[in-house]
Amino acid sequence: MNARKLRVLALTAGLLPFDFVVAAALLLTQAACIPLLMTRSRSRSSKPVDTCSVTIQVLNWDGRALLDEFLPSVVAAARGHNLVVVDNGSTDGSQEFLKQRFPSVTVVELDKNYGFSIGNNLGAQKTKSDVIVFLNNDMAVDPAFLGPLLAPFSDPSVFAVASRIEVPDPAKASHETGKTRARFERGFFDLRHDPVGSRDEQEASLPVFWAGGGACAVDRRKFEALGGFDSLYHPFYVEDADISYQAWRRGWRCLMAPGSRVVHRHRGTAAPKFGESYVDNTLRRNQYLFIWKNVTDPGMLLQHIVRLPRIHARAILQHGGRFEIKAYLRAVARLPLALVRRLANVRAYVVTDRDVLGLTQ
């Protein structure tokens, strides 16, 4: 056995005590979930959505240059709908710039950077529109992106509709498309974006595993019923997959509208501020938290627990020991909060984990 494999084994073994803690906590919580699943409440009836009642909400943090570049396309596409920029305590003059350059845009000024979840939730609390369109500040939208995005809400079971995303950098073109999919393999979720094919383009909408929070429309009443984006994942990433999964579990649907097009400067806000390494590590942390909060299928949960050492080993080989250890321990620190959320939501589920995976393929 070579030195590299020995090192991977040693690092994996060092995480075993934490694996036992995670396993015990998940199994105990799973036992508590069983009676809740047996007495679960019926899904709430859905009210029709007025697609003329729309607020477009752009989240911003020190993104003056991005607003200057991308917001004009949003203003042009808004066509009389409410347009709001929620500013996460910017210190680069964003608020003053917005008032001078875009006086028709409503600015919600927050006192500090609350991150993606809380920042968007605070903005959403101030609107009474039936539909909220969430946009990142590094999104350029097609002039006609709203029509196809809103049309699927004629079905009252729809929770969210995502836009088709195009990335100008050819090297990152596969990173985001809006056609989101997931597989649960070897005890872990593989979350990905699939290419949008010619057959997809002929559809008004198609089911997706999650509606990307950087360019999607949501039914505000359902969004509020779900509690908004979960701050468990603060400061960013996986919140949109989480709330979409919670919607699917309640019998609501998440779709993508291929005819609604946006262009995204991938990680245009997070990476320059935090660095690619921190962003990737936070994404890895949140993938663990997603499972611990959401998965109630006994077989899937047991597979995750049993395979934790192999999950660590694969990540160590791919990303290095420091990366995986840091991400996992950061996740373990939030395990109690994830389990509290787990118990709070389980009674509302009417669709199984495996059915969600089937419905979104």
What local confidence, expressed as pLDDT, does residue 135 receive? 97
CA 146, CA 326: separation in Å to the nearest integer?
Answer: 41
Name the residue among 288, 293, 301 with its Cα closest to residue 337. Answer: 293
CA dihedral 353, 337, 281, 352 (to 10 degrees): 0
pLDDT band, very low/low/confident/very high, at 46 (cuts 50, 70, 90)? confident
Q: What is the mean pLDDT of residues 157-161?
A: 97
pLDDT in tens, 207-224: 999 999 999 999 999 999
> Going by C-beta distance under 8 Å and a sequence separation of 6 or more, which residues neighbour residue 150?
51, 54, 131, 161, 217
Q: Is the predicted pLDDT of residue 268 greater than 80, yes or no?
A: no
Enumerate the β-bridge partners of residue 136. Answer: 59
CA 178, CA 91: separation in Å to the nearest integer?
Answer: 31
Assign 3-class secondary structure to the chain. CCHHHHHHHHHHHHCHHHHHHHHHHHHHHHHHHHHHHHCCCCCCCCCCCCCCCEEEEEEECCCHHHHHHHHHHHHHHHCCCEEEEEECCCCCCHHHHHHHHCCCCEEEECCCCCHHHHHHHHHHCCCCCCEEEEEECCEEECCCCHHHHHHHHHCCCEEEEEEEEECCCHHHCCCCCCCEEEEEECCEEEEEECCCCHHHHCCCCEECCCCCCCEEEEEHHHHHHCCCCCHHHCCCCCHHHHHHHHHHHCCCEEEEEEEEEEEECCCCCHHHHHCHHHHHHHHHHHHHHHHHHHCCCHHHHHHHHHCHHHHHHHHHHHHCHHHHHHHHHHHHHCHHHHHHHHHHHHHHCCCCHHHHHHHCC
What local confidence, expressed as pLDDT, does residue 33 receive? 85
Q: Is the predicted pLDDT of residue 42 greater than 60, yes or no?
A: no
Place of tokens 């396309």: 73
Domains of the chain: 3-42+275-359 (no CATH), 54-274 (3.90.550.10)
Q: What is the mean pLDDT of residues 2-23?
A: 91
Q: What is the mean pLDDT of residues 185-197?
A: 95
Pairing of the two strands 131-136 and 54-60:
parallel
What local confidence, expressed as pLDDT, does residue 271 receive? 64
How distant, in Å, are the alpha carbons of 81, 156, 254 from that of 152? 18, 9, 10
Q: Largest Cα–Cα distance in the chain?
A: 67
Across the chain, what does the average pLDDT equal?
A: 93
- Name the pTM for this structure: 0.94
Q: Is the predicted pLDDT of residue 45 greater than 60, yes or no?
A: no
pLDDT in tens, 165-188: 998 876 666 678 999 999 999 999
pLDDT in tens, 79-131: 889 999 999 999 999 999 999 999 999 999 999 999 999 999 999 999 999 99
What local confidence, expressed as pLDDT, does residue 275 receive? 82
